[in-house]
Amino acid sequence: DVPELRALIGEVAAEQLERSGSDDPRGVSAALRVCFTRLMKSEKKFFVDQLNMLVKRISQEVAEGKDTSGSNGDLLLRLHSQYPGDIGCFTIYFLNLVRLEPGEAMFLGANEPHAYLHGDCVEIMACSDNTVRAGLTPKFIDVLTLCEMLNYTPAPSSSKIFPAAQSQLDPSVYLYDPPVPDFAIMRIEIPASIKLYLISAMDSASILLVIQGTAVGTSTAAASEMSLHRGSVLFISANESISLHLSSPDEMLLFRACCLL
């Protein structure tokens, strides 16, 4: 439906993708791999010309009051204004556009392409030294490695989003437990009415991030009291608990990254 993108990937690849049906997941994945690889390996002058044509067309349609949602027009124009001439502007047609509401989370497995577009989030990931970028970045882009390593299995965005589960032991704790053993994260909401709160000990070490509120923390492992406020980060050893003496009139919001052993 986007002729400028079709020109980049070529008729053969486009038709291969159109012929692949939902009853043939391998065929769809293979077709997506071909299309994405053709896009990313496009000659720069060619894809810049096509991108400029696309931006001009969408801009004209917006000026005429036409609906451009089918081409993700608003997103395309915003990304192009931030990264003009960047091939990453075309990748929006391979990805799901996901809007997360406050309190929602999403899990992305290894080799799944993604881009953060707007807003604030708390991210946790396993130890990694192999981030490979496709575009929309001033950093190094490794096209060959990227195209080879990506997971091309399609899935709806709803399959990636999951809510937090409120702890039965502590109603202030909401657990985000992804389908991997490497990590989990807790959202801790301490009401303003509570002035003394105990962060329980765990079998693993953890990292505490303060988003809102102020408190003084004490621990048997710490040599002195710890002043905690927005932006504070605290390392908590395994089997260590932290007592928080809250000093803010508002609730306190914390995130705790950990591993559930």
**Cβ atoms of residues 125 and 114 within 8 Å:** no
Q: Which helix H or strand E contains 32, and what residues bound it?
A: helix 25-40
3-class DSSP assignment, residue 234:
strand
Q: What is the pLDDT of residue 7?
A: 96
Give the pLDDT of residue 248: 85
Neighbours of 12 (CB within 10 A): 9
Last residue of a domain, one of 147, 162, 177: 162
The parent domain of residue 193 ranges over 165-258
Q: Which of 162, 190, 211 is the last residue of a domain?
A: 162
133 catalytic per annotation: yes
Judgement on whether residues 85 and 138 belong to the same structural domain of the protein: yes
Instruction: Looking at the structure, tell me whether residues 117 and 171 fall in a common domain.
Output: no
**212 & 250 share domain:** yes
pTM of the entire predicted model: 0.84
Q: Assess whether 150 and 174 both reside in one domain.
A: no
CA–CA separation, 241 vs 217, rounded Å? 10
**Which one is catalytic: 133, 187, 230, 256?**
133
User: Which pLDDT score, from 0 to 100, does residue 78 have?
Assistant: 96
Distance, CA of 7 to CA of 1 (rounded, Å): 11
Q: Is 256 exposed, middle or buried (0-12, 13-18, 19+ CB in 10 A)?
A: buried
Which pLDDT value is given to residue 171?
Answer: 95
Classified as helix, coil or strand, 57 is helix
φ, ψ dihedrals at 179, nearest 5°? -80, 40
CATH of the domain at 96: 1.10.441.10
Residues 181 and 155 placed together within one structural domain of the fold: no
Residue 195's nearest CA partner among 243, 254, 245, 249 is 245
- Identify whether the C-beta of residue 93 lies closer than 8 Å to the C-beta of residue 135: no
Same domain flag for 196 and 107: no
Predicted local distance difference test score (pLDDT) of residue 222: 78
How many beta carbons lie within 10 A of that of residue 135, not counting itself? 18
Please report the pLDDT score of residue 134 as a whole number. 79
Same domain (yes/no): 136, 188: no
On whether both 7 and 111 belong to a single domain, the answer is yes
Question: Which candidate, 114, 99, 232, 171, places its Cα nearest to that of 186?
Answer: 171
Q: Give the number of other Cβ atoms within 10 Å of residue 130's Cβ.
A: 9
- 158 and 174 housed in the same domain: no
Q: Kindly report the CA angle at 11 between 9 and 141, in degrees rounded to 5? A: 5
Q: Which pLDDT value is given to residue 113?
A: 87
Sequential pLDDT tens for the chain (261 residues)? 899 999 999 999 999 999 987 778 899 999 999 999 999 999 999 999 999 999 999 999 999 999 999 999 999 999 999 999 999 999 999 999 999 999 999 999 888 988 889 899 999 988 876 678 878 888 888 888 889 999 999 989 999 998 899 999 999 999 999 999 999 999 999 999 999 999 999 999 999 999 999 999 999 787 789 999 999 999 999 999 999 999 888 899 999 999 998
Residue 129 is predicted with a pLDDT of 67
234/211 Cα distance (integer angstroms): 12
Number of domains in the chain: 2
Question: Residue holding tokens 């504070």?
Answer: 232
